[in-house]
Structure 1
């Protein structure tokens, strides 16, 4: 009897699995979209057991070589389509309705809530509008001062390893510097991560990012219902660290709101009006201050609303900047001619004194460095994968992607396609000289995404990248020491071998 029940249950499970997949398989067959052989119930779950952050890039590259520009995977009941086909890039990124992130972003729900990264519809539109003043040039000018000061701290920290012989993994230095910048610009407070990397907030953030990144490659931790069962200690640590960070941010918000209310009570309050000269003079405001004064539908944002946006800003800004800067410095160390050109431009624009502060205007004059940043983000894009969820069938040309599917756009491989970028694996900043684009084909270069949901902070990011890179190169000659890069995907592009360089102090000119 028991055997009969088990057999019946298995048959029903197989029928249910076939039913939920058959229609989508039909669309895939008609559209000539194939992928690795899957099995009932598990799909490609067994293959996924061997996916690791350090082999994602290679595995997906192998699949593209085998199945063409678009392929599909099944992981249990989850359907995923991966593509480098620019027709899909245009259809999805240009859409004003396909704004929901792919399911892989669900790992960030507990931490980021419904902030601008994950929200859609009216909430997303209104929040993006509320955030816009933070990226006005007057605010950015103040942010550059914060970036410059913290980059100065980093070059001081590097002195003890700058002997021209030691291989230094810059990732950990850049990560702490980026966190100092992003927390001060987001919340107006200094966590001093570079001086105290064991600060509870710093440790909690790094722990959360590490755990959530590992969940990407873990079948047992991938699903919210299974995660607490399969890894209870990791799950509890994640919840504890998220709670610690949120409590910290909530406390800062309450204190700043109290100051704002007091200013309204005593008559010293002045609303933010970007472009106003007086506002410009006192624009040493953090993102949090701007959100405290923002309204949506004539109502102020709640503390929870503000915390969501602050958390998104910190999460997105810390890791992407770390990836961009550490990859750039590594690549520059391997190209002495490029480094020489950068240094000559820095001296020409910023002068001989390596400690002279930079300004937004001066950073914008660094045209060759801008080319180096663009070429770095082509070969080593901080965000190598963009994901959207398709609630309904999507027809592009004569092909249909079925609804209830996550589609992953893979710009990493587009940037390395000789069809769009001649000699694609060679680092050539000159591709971008004189303001020209290295490829004139739309959607071939989208380091900050594209369309309605492009990165709202891209000007901020470019300024931070150029500030830190320029500061390091003004103080040190970068040498090609240490291991080469081994690309790893953990929401952002990193290297499992680190980002190693040697550092030789430059001689100061009197």
Structure 2
């Protein structure tokens, strides 16, 4: 009996070894095929099987006191600089190759196409939370869902959302009051919690009070989930789902996911119940949330979204507009506001122009009223300042597409299935389009200066068919909150640009925070 068991064990071990050998052989052949296909494209060297270009990069300097070690993001930017005058470059992140595009004419080839709409592999780690909603879906589902959701961002609906933004911006100002005429402080968490309150109430109709209670279970779950997803994306050994659950991070991911989905489920159920039972809604103005519109949305055949479809899109809206990518708190809208605050604080002359514009729009007699959509239309210089901040520090410094078919970029062939990364951080620093690109000059975006600019030279919200559906909401939120802050305060900063240490994960954030001082504006809201 024992010899028979030994033989079975030997056969099983041999079969397992054979499968492993076949898998390894296929993997290496795939690596070699990709290497040969991409060889004509300029790229970093040396390249090693499995490791790619990894040995060229040091571990990032996240824990350093003042960026003694160059962060991985900065190393990426430095590595791209020698290729500035070539149209594209290849980079191997471990065993995974990507093609980087950072010139307007090359970016246009991919972004304007109605075929290259799929998202790269790294987005699959968002599926447990977001499913295949608008951000992560592709093909027919994406087209149908995009068409269905576009009306939810109509001007009149955004106007309803502005009421929420005003309320939360006023709470933010109250929180900032304690810092007036005091020592410098890091403003990043204040801005992030305000953005989280805005998006929670506009997306789900629920006020989570993050600005009053940053330690709530839901807020902490968002913080933790963001950190876990970010860590997993950078750790190939955590990629397989079965292995992930064996690690502590995988179990924490599961617990945080339950909290997030339970919160969304409760919000959906509550809004469904209200829609059925509240007969007063027809006689009284009801503040609409994104969720309410999803409950009523229909496709071309008149079919409504399923329960899971609705949850996907609510969670996606939360993610795209206010997803926090580290415990310090950094999201797309809040990221743009933080960088703009820093740049205006560092350029007092530009800040004075914003203040002058605000004083013209908000007369002394009604200086503390809420901001309206008409007000936002008149804040042209503030709009230019935000656009220039997004040029220098785009909230999403890299975003990608997976090619659905081979394409040619300036004579270079990129094979089907390849991941292409748009480097907006480098794209926005093209000195031909933006002379002296490191300078903060809001005037670049005045109508006369922006006229004739290449349409793909500036893509903070992506571009083409798959541009950001929520960009009008984001712009409205950023302008209204910044205008509210600047109506009350003059902002100063002694932080140098080289002290910020930008970290470009999925969201571009300042590693050392944004440290400012506040002075009260006696001519406004006092």
Is the structural similarity TM-score above 0.5? yes
Aligned to 2:198: 181
Aligned to 2:3: none
Stretches of 4+ aligned residues off by more than 6 angstroms: 4-14
Q: Deviations over 1:313-357 (max 9, x none)?
A: 111111111100011001100001011110010010122354221
Aligned to 1:56: 72
Q: Deviations over 1:339-387 (max 9, x none)?
A: 1110010010122354221001111110111110111110011111120
**Any conservation in 1 of the 2:73–2:503 contact (CA below 8 Å)?**
yes
User: Comparing 104-113 with 447-456, which one deviates more in the overlay?
Assistant: 104-113
Distance 1:375 1:397 in 2: 29
Evaluate the alpha carbon distance shift between residue 171 and residue 439 of structure 1 in structure 2; reply closer, same or farther with a 3 A threshold: farther
Of structures 1 and 2, the one scoring higher in RCO (CA 8 A, sep 6+) is 1
Distance 2:408 2:245 in 1: 38
Aligned to 1:194: 211
Matched, 1:16 2:19: no
Evaluate the alpha carbon distance shift between residue 309 and residue 342 of structure 1 in structure 2; reply closer, same or farther with a 3 A threshold: same
Query: What value does the CA root-mean-square deviation take over the aligned residues?
Result: 2.7
Distance 2:460 2:382 in 1: 16
SS where residue 370 of structure 2 aligns?
coil
TM superposition shift of 1:87? 3.6
Matched, 1:326 2:338: yes
Aligned to 1:139: 157
Aligned to 1:106: 124
Aligned to 1:233: 248
Matched, 1:348 2:360: yes
TM superposition shift of 1:24? 2.4
Matched, 1:310 2:314: yes
Mapping of 1:413-492 within 5 angstroms? Answer: 413-434=426-447, 436-437=449-450, 440-482=453-495, 484-492=499-507
**Any conservation in 2 of the 1:391–1:404 contact (CA below 8 Å)?**
yes
**Any conservation in 2 of the 1:100–1:388 contact (CA below 8 Å)?**
yes
**Any conservation in 2 of the 1:171–1:326 contact (CA below 8 Å)?**
yes
User: Comparing 146-155 with 100-109, which one deviates more in the overlay?
Assistant: 100-109
Normalised to the residue count of structure 2, the TM-score between the two structures is 0.87
Evaluate the alpha carbon distance shift between residue 249 and residue 15 of structure 1 in structure 2; reply closer, same or farther with a 3 A threshold: closer
TM superposition shift of 1:37? 2.0
Aligned to 1:43: 52
Distance 2:451 2:230 in 1: 32
Distance 1:139 1:349 in 2: 23
Distance 2:268 2:190 in 1: 28
Evaluate the alpha carbon distance shift between residue 6 and residue 152 of structure 1 in structure 2; reply closer, same or farther with a 3 A threshold: closer
Aligned to 1:364: 377
Distance 1:244 1:501 in 2: 34
Evaluate the alpha carbon distance shift between residue 65 and residue 8 of structure 1 in structure 2; reply closer, same or farther with a 3 A threshold: farther
SS where residue 488 of structure 1 aligns?
strand
Matched residues, number? 492
**Any conservation in 2 of the 1:64–1:70 contact (CA below 8 Å)?**
no
SS where residue 446 of structure 2 aligns?
helix
TM superposition shift of 1:470? 0.7
**Any conservation in 1 of the 2:429–2:437 contact (CA below 8 Å)?**
yes
**Any conservation in 1 of the 2:106–2:410 contact (CA below 8 Å)?**
no
Evaluate the alpha carbon distance shift between residue 440 and residue 100 of structure 1 in structure 2; reply closer, same or farther with a 3 A threshold: same
Q: Which runs of 5+ in 2 are unaligned?
A: 1-9, 63-69, 323-330
Mapping of 1:61-460 within 5 angstroms? Answer: 61-67=77-83, 68-163=86-181, 165-222=182-239, 224=241, 226-229=243-246, 232-262=247-277, 282=285, 284-296=287-299, 297-318=301-322, 319-352=331-364, 353-434=366-447, 436-437=449-450, 440-460=453-473
Distance 1:192 1:120 in 2: 35
SS where residue 71 of structure 1 aligns?
strand
TM superposition shift of 1:221? 3.3
TM superposition shift of 1:450? 0.6
Q: Deviations over 1:268-300 (max 9, x none)?
A: 787xxxxxxx9xx94621000000011123221
**Any conservation in 1 of the 2:41–2:90 contact (CA below 8 Å)?**
no
Evaluate the alpha carbon distance shift between residue 172 and residue 449 of structure 1 in structure 2; reply closer, same or farther with a 3 A threshold: same
**Any conservation in 2 of the 1:133–1:290 contact (CA below 8 Å)?**
no
Q: Deviations over 1:425-452 (max 9, x none)?
A: 0000111224641771231011111111
Distance 1:103 1:51 in 2: 23
**Any conservation in 2 of the 1:293–1:300 contact (CA below 8 Å)?**
yes
Q: Which runs of 5+ in 1 are unaligned?
A: 271-277
Distance 2:92 2:427 in 1: 23
